[in-house]
Amino acid sequence: MRSTFHSALHSRLSRFYFIYYFFVGSFVPYWGLYLKSEQFSPADIGILMSLFQISRIFAPNFWGWLADHTGKRAQWIKLTAFLGLCGFTAVFWAHGFYWFFFVMAALSLFTSSTLPLAESLTLAHLATTNGHYSRIRMWGSLGFIVASVILGFLIDFAGIRSLLWFLLAVQMTLFALTYTLPDAKVEPHPHDHFSIWQVIKQPNVLALLIGCALMVTAHGVLYNFYSIYLSEHGYSKGMIGLLWSVGVICEIGIFMLMPRLMVRYSLKTILLISLVLAVVRFTMIGIAVDNIIFLVLAQTLHAATFGSFHAASVEVITQFFNGRHQAKGQAIYNSVAYGIGGTIGGVAGGYALQYLGGQKTFMLAAIFPLLGLLVIGLGLKLTRNQHGSQGMFR
């Protein structure tokens, strides 16, 4: 009976991740193209897209505090998903930069908080069910692939405006699925007496957060402008969707392998290798945009630059922030890495694209994971039991 319950729970969590990233796979590759169709400049698009990263700096910490304080993560996931749905409906009437700024700010305020709350809920359940985070998160990657491929061909057939209706349907489905997520009991932890600031100011934690932010800065350029970059070089929406899907297919592969890799290699080694491959990836995108073979090879490296890097980072964060700080820890990770890092990449990338061109922009993006390599290589020291075989990847 207990095994059946755990199986049903993991199925519900996997389904939620699938639909959440189905939304991400619809939004990230194509929203910049929709904004371009509304006659916004690359700099304007960079600012508008970065609202999602800016909101990640503040909003998840508020919701994370509420989740830890009340112990009711599922309740706040429902609320943020509902408010995100309400915010999105306003997009149908938005025209002009300031209206889009207001609507996207409201939308991002809530949608940016749903994932860290769901991550915290998932990790709390996995702590008592001996499940594998990577095998649940893998379904999110699958959702991204399906959405990005389907929508690419749909837009080629029906036009960019069809994106709005597609995203609305996905948001409604996501909200409905929040009612299938049960709350989890968070077990007491020996470090519960430490304040959150005592955890954050540890040199290891600071090195990890800064290194993650530098990695995501490069990806902020990718998420906001890769589709525009490819479109300007003559690639169809369908081909753009396929290229996005190549990266995420490889991401699924690495998530499936992570339990074995984390037994064989230390978490720090996985992080460092991922950063090295990120330098290679962004350099290739910059210098070989007209060579489809090199673009495909660069996309396969998404397995490392996002997949293995994210999985290892979440594992280390989980070990540093646990017990009563678990939800806040995931929120802080999202705020610093995806909030600050993503904002810098999105805004700076927009101006770089406008004034330097796409090739130089992506080549410059390779500098950030190089800096992250130095920060994590020199600053992150993990104890013996933090090297990979412990925690959620059992």
Q: Give the CATH number for residue 72.
A: 1.20.1250.20
> For residue 316, what pLDDT band results from cuts at 50, 70 and 90?
confident
> For residue 393, what pLDDT band results from cuts at 50, 70 and 90?
very low
How many domains does the chain contain in total? Answer: 1
Query: If you average pLDDT over residues 228-253, what whole number do you get?
Result: 90
Residue-level pLDDT at 117:
80
- Given a contact cutoff of 8 angstroms between Cβ atoms, the answer to whether 244 and 29 are in contact is yes
- Given a contact cutoff of 8 angstroms between Cβ atoms, the answer to whether 213 and 376 are in contact is no
Share of the chain above pLDDT 70, in %: 87
More confident position, 229 or 87: 229
Characterize 126-145 residue by residue with b for buried, 16 or more Cβ atoms within 10 angstroms of its Cβ, and e for exposed: bbebebbbbebbbbbbbbbb
In a domain, 27, yes or no: yes
Residue-level pLDDT at 391:
38
Count CA within 13 A, CB hemisphere, residue 128: 15
Nearest to 228 by CA among 356, 88, 46: 46
Mean of per-residue pLDDT scores for the chain: 84
Radius of gyration of the chain (CA): 20
> For residue 239, what pLDDT band results from cuts at 50, 70 and 90?
very high
> Residue 102 corresponds to which tokens in the numbers above?
């207001």
In a domain, 2, yes or no: no
In a domain, 392, yes or no: no
Structural domain boundaries enclosing 217: 7-184+194-386
- Given a contact cutoff of 8 angstroms between Cβ atoms, the answer to whether 22 and 146 are in contact is yes
In a domain, 93, yes or no: yes
Residue-level pLDDT at 127:
63
Nearest to 274 by CA among 285, 261, 291, 287: 261
> Residue 219 corresponds to which tokens in the numbers above?
């990806």
- Given a contact cutoff of 8 angstroms between Cβ atoms, the answer to whether 51 and 215 are in contact is no
Residue-level pLDDT at 186:
59
| Sequence-distant (≥ 6) Cβ neighbours of residue 10 within 8 angstroms | 129, 131, 135, 136
Does an H or E element contain 26, and which? helix 2-27
In a domain, 189, yes or no: no
Whose tokens are 């309400």? That residue is 86
**pTM of structure:** 0.74
In 71-195, alpha helices (H): 73-89, 97-129, 133-158, 162-177
| Sequence-distant (≥ 6) Cβ neighbours of residue 279 within 8 angstroms | 366, 369, 370, 373
Query: If you average pLDDT over residues 328-344, what whole number do you get?
Result: 83
Nearest to 145 by CA among 284, 299, 35, 260: 299
- From first CA to last CA, the distance across the chain in angstroms is 22
In a domain, 393, yes or no: no
Question: Does position 51 have pLDDT exceeding 80, yes or no?
Answer: yes
Count CA within 13 A, CB hemisphere, residue 224: 37
- Given a contact cutoff of 8 angstroms between Cβ atoms, the answer to whether 289 and 229 are in contact is yes
Q: Which of 153-157, 190-194, 230-234 has the highest mean pLDDT?
A: 230-234
Query: If you average pLDDT over residues 169-198, what whole number do you get?
Result: 73
In a domain, 116, yes or no: yes
pLDDT tens profile 348-392: 998 999 899 999 999 999 999 999 999 999 988 876 545 544 333
Share of the chain above pLDDT 90, in %: 36
| Sequence-distant (≥ 6) Cβ neighbours of residue 24 within 8 angstroms | 140, 143, 144, 147
- Given a contact cutoff of 8 angstroms between Cβ atoms, the answer to whether 322 and 191 are in contact is yes
In a domain, 25, yes or no: yes
Residue-level pLDDT at 258:
87
Distance between CA 123 and CA 20 in Å, rounded? 17
194 in helix, strand or coil?
Answer: coil
Report the 10 Å Cβ neighbour count for 319: 18
> Residue 18 corresponds to which tokens in the numbers above?
């699938």
Question: Does position 80 have pLDDT exceeding 70, yes or no?
Answer: yes
pLDDT tens profile 89-138: 888 888 889 998 988 888 888 877 787 788 777 777 776 555 567 778 88
More confident position, 309 or 127: 309
